[in-house]
Amino acid sequence: MTKKILLCDDEIHILKAAEFKFSRAGYQVTCAGNGEEGWACIERELPDVVVTDCQMPRLNGLELAKRIKNHPATNQLPVIMLSAKGFELSPEQLREEYGIIRLLCKPFSPRELFTLVESLLGNAEPCVAGISTVTAVPAAVSRWL
């Protein structure tokens, strides 16, 4: 089953670069230009992993991650954040408060991102439903949380 990845970034070139990388590797890639659009995509079809930029218009990455964490249907969804800004929060705090399992600083390496996602989802069963029908999260994902 094809693994699904949601990419959120207001920088079109970064979106395209990541989309290119994952598409060639057989992922079903959904792109969103801002946080609200990203949430709408999640509501339509739950991805297996979310990769989001931090600074975006109309719901930034942190707010999107928090929304994902607080929703019962998505609170186990792994979120990776890309950011060009420094962070005052420690990795532990990002995980505890926002459910962000990993932070990659920009300029990031698409290779590194790809390796990270692959290791995250390598043994997990892909998700096949949207928010309304999800009741359980693949067991392999939970070890990252």
Q: Which listed residue (58, 96, 128, 129) binds other proteins by CB under 8 A? A: 58
Rounded to a whole number of angstroms, the minimum distance from the CB of residue 17 to other proteins is 4
C-alpha closest to that of 102 among 64, 24, 49, 63: 49
Chain length of the chain: 145
Q: Which of 40, 84, 139, 140 binds other proteins (CB under 8 A)?
A: 84
Q: Could you say whether residue 26 binds other proteins (CB under 8 A)?
A: no
Is residue 83 within 8 Å of 108, Cβ to Cβ? no
Which range in 64-72, 80-88, 92-100, 116-124 contacts other proteins by CB under 8 A?
80-88
Residue selected from 28, 31, 87, 106 as contacting other proteins according to rule CB under 8 A: 106
How many residues belong to the site for other proteins (CB under 8 A)?
26
**Of the candidate residues 21, 87, 131, 134, the single one contacting other proteins (CB under 8 A):** 21
Nearer Cβ to other proteins (87/144)? 87
Rounded Cα distance, 88 and 48, in Å: 28
Distance from C-alpha of 145 to C-alpha of 142, rounded to nearest angstrom: 5
CA angle (91, 95, 97) in 5-degree steps: 115
Spatial contact of 34 and 59, defined as CB atoms under 8 Å apart: yes
Instruction: Point out which residues bind other proteins (CB under 8 A).
Output: 10-14, 16-18, 20-21, 24, 55-58, 60, 82, 84-86, 106-111
